[in-house]
Amino acid sequence: MAKRFQRLEQIRRMDPVADASEIYRLCAAYEFPWDMTRSLELALYRTYAVPSIGRLLAETAELTERTQKRYDDTSLLLDAVVEHGFASEQGREAIRRINRMHRSYDISNDDMRYVLCTFVVMPKRWIDAYGWRRLSRHEVVASTVHYRTLGRHMGIKDIPESYEEFEAHLDAYEEAHFGWDERSRAVSDATLALMASWYPRALAPLLRTSTLALLDEPLLRAFRYEPPSALTRAFVRRAVRARGRAVRLMPPRRSPHFARQNWEIKNYPDGYRIADLGTWPVPGLRGCPVRHTGGPASESAR
């Protein structure tokens, strides 16, 4: 059992500030790759409940008509920085693509900062609830520093300093801004349908109910979903926790697992170029992501 915690011991010997991105990479690619994927899906999903964000996403149709591609590109761009680092060619190109998609569109600093908060807070909440162990303080600090660095590269202003400040800001922003919007609900429905599409069609109703059972009450209210029964919610959450307990009994991962290796990524069986990922500005259309009408032809990068 000692070997199962060997990487955690390595992380605790590192500096959570100076080595923040390396600690985050060890956490995301070795310790909790499945949990990180699920928690970041939830992080992005809950931003739709802020009407100013959900409306923009609906207006561009990226998450209602090209849901799989938008999912793939977002995952690959964010994870390129994790895999290769901020100073690498791939990391710099990913940040350039992210910034080019956002710079020309009318997105408030408040909304951008809130989205950044979800990246910091939701993985900790998910892993502490469902992971094979809770996050250590070193990992929490490192994750916070990593995303503060990303936020600075994206030009976000007034970024919270600590995890606790990120969490307080997220909770306050959601309390003030979560609300019903018909277009936000359409984006939510499309995302739930995408997640169900990864499995046999007959399982779609069960998967939708299971996903809703993992959502908190403010999120369900904002989208006006009928909450699953208390029994269903308890069963689903216990099942996910049971998975974490089973992983705890397994030997530690020997090789990293990055987002590009996730089977849910469907659009690039022959590889991709980071410079070709994402959306492309459409004249006269405000908001991000934007409708993709062109851009460089994709070339293999793997």
From first to last of the 302 residues of the chain, give the pLDDT tens digit.
Answer: 448 999 999 999 999 999 999 999 999 999 999 999 999 999 999 999 999 999 988 887 767 778 999 899 999 999 999 999 999 999 999 999 999 888 767 889 999 999 999 999 999 999 999 999 999 999 999 999 999 999 999 999 999 999 999 999 999 999 999 999 999 999 999 999 999 999 999 999 999 999 999 999 999 999 999 999 999 999 999 999 999 999 999 999 999 999 999 999 999 999 999 999 987 765 554 434 333 333 333 333 33
Tracing tokens 């959900």 back to the chain, one arrives at 54
Q: Is the dihedral of CA 42, 127, 249, 76 positive or negative?
A: positive
Q: What is the pTM for the complete model shown?
A: 0.90
Instruction: Give dist(CA 166, CA 118) in Å, integer.
Output: 8
Do the beta carbons of residue 43 and residue 170 sit within 8 Å? no
Instruction: Give dist(CA 204, CA 211) in Å, integer.
Output: 10
20: alpha, beta or left, given left = phi > 0 and alpha = psi -120 to 50?
A: alpha
Q: Which amino acid is at 212?
A: L
- Which of 161, 70, 56 has the alpha carbon at shortest distance from 113? 161
CB atoms within 10 A of CB 217: 8
Helices and strands per DSSP (H, E), number in the chain: 13, 0
